[in-house]
Amino acid sequence: MLMQYYIYCMKKEKLDAFTDAVVAIIITLMVLEIKLPKVTAENLLTVLSYIGIYALSFIVIGITWLNYNTLFKYIENITARIIWLNLAFLFVLSLVPLPTQALCKDFHTKESHMFYGIILTCVSIVYTLMQYAANPNIIHLSKSEIKQLNTKNWMSIILYAISVPLSILSIYFSTMIFILMPILYFLPERKLINATPQAQ
C-alpha cells in the first residue's frame, strides 16, 4: 500500500533523474566489461574492432536516452504503468553490455550477432510499450506527430528482429542493420527538440 502511494506521488523529474543515473552506470559498466587484447601491430585491427563495437553500443544507448528525455519533456503526468515500464526499459537496456562483450570477442560467429539483435529488439519493444503508455499524457504534440514517433519505434522493432534470422544467413546482413538503425534514431524529430513545452 505504501509503495502504491509512493508511485502515485512520484514526480516525473525524479523518474528522469533515476533513469539518467542508471544509464550512466550502464555505459560505465559496458566499457569496464570490454577486455582489450594486448595491442600489437598484428592485432591492431582487432583492437579497433573492439572500440568500434563499443562505440556502436554507446551510440545506441545514447540515442535511446536522448529520445527518452525528449519524449518525457512532453509528458504532463506519469502513471504507475509508465513507471513500471520505465523500470522494465532500464532492465533490458542494462543487458546491452552483455551482447556487446560477446560481439567483441566473437564477431564472426552468428550466435553473437543473434544475441545482440535479440537484446536490441527487446529494448525497442519495451521502449515502444512505454511510449504507448505515455501517449495519452503527451501535451503540445499533434496526433500525427505522435503517430510518426510510433511508426519509427515499430520500424526499429521490425528491423532489429529481422537482424536475428538474417545473421544466420550472413553476419554482414545483421551488421548492416546494427549500423543503419542508429542513423534512423540519430536525433529525435527536429520539432520535438526545438519546441519548448509551456510551463505547467
Note the pLDDT tens digit of each residue in 13-40.
Answer: 888 889 999 999 999 999 888 888 777 8
Helix axes 97-105, 110-134, angle to 10 degrees: 160
At 122-173, the pLDDT tens digits run 999 999 999 888 888 777 667 777 777 778 888 899 999 999 999 999 999 9
Give the per-residue pLDDT at 128: 92
Rounded average pLDDT over 45-74 = 89
The model's confidence at residue 198, banded by pLDDT at 50, 70 and 90, is very low
Residue 104 has pLDDT above 60, yes or no: yes
Rounded average pLDDT over 59-67 = 90
| Cβ count within 10 A of residue 139 | 12
Contact indicator for 160, 124 with CB cutoff of 8 Å = yes
Contacts of 97-100 with C-beta under 8 Å, sequence gap 24+, read 97/26, 97/29, 97/30, 97/33, 97/57, 98/33, 100/30, 100/33, 100/34, 100/53, 100/54, 100/57
Question: Cβ neighbours of residue 195 under 8 Å, at least 6 residues apart?
Answer: 140
Nearest to 112 by CA among 62, 59, 50, 159: 50
Rounded average pLDDT over 103-132 = 94
State the chain's mean pLDDT as an integer. Answer: 84
Contact indicator for 106, 150 with CB cutoff of 8 Å = no
Nearest to 120 by CA among 136, 140, 138, 103: 103
Give the per-residue pLDDT at 187: 52
Give the per-residue pLDDT at 97: 94
The model's confidence at residue 194, banded by pLDDT at 50, 70 and 90, is low
The length of the chain is 200
* Ramachandran angles phi, psi of 138, nearest 5°: -80, 135
Give the per-residue pLDDT at 149: 75
> Per-domain residue ranges for the chain?
11-30+43-193
Distance, CA of 136 to CA of 140 (rounded, Å): 12
Rounded average pLDDT over 84-92 = 95
Return the higher-pLDDT residue of 123 and 188. Answer: 123
Residue 85 has pLDDT above 70, yes or no: yes
Rounded average pLDDT over 29-56 = 86
Torsion angle of the four alpha carbons 101, 106, 111, 117, in this order, in degrees rounded to the nearest 10 = 50
> SS3 for 138?
strand
Percent of the chain with pLDDT over 70: 86
Distance, CA of 188 to CA of 68 (rounded, Å): 9
Residue 196 has pLDDT above 60, yes or no: no
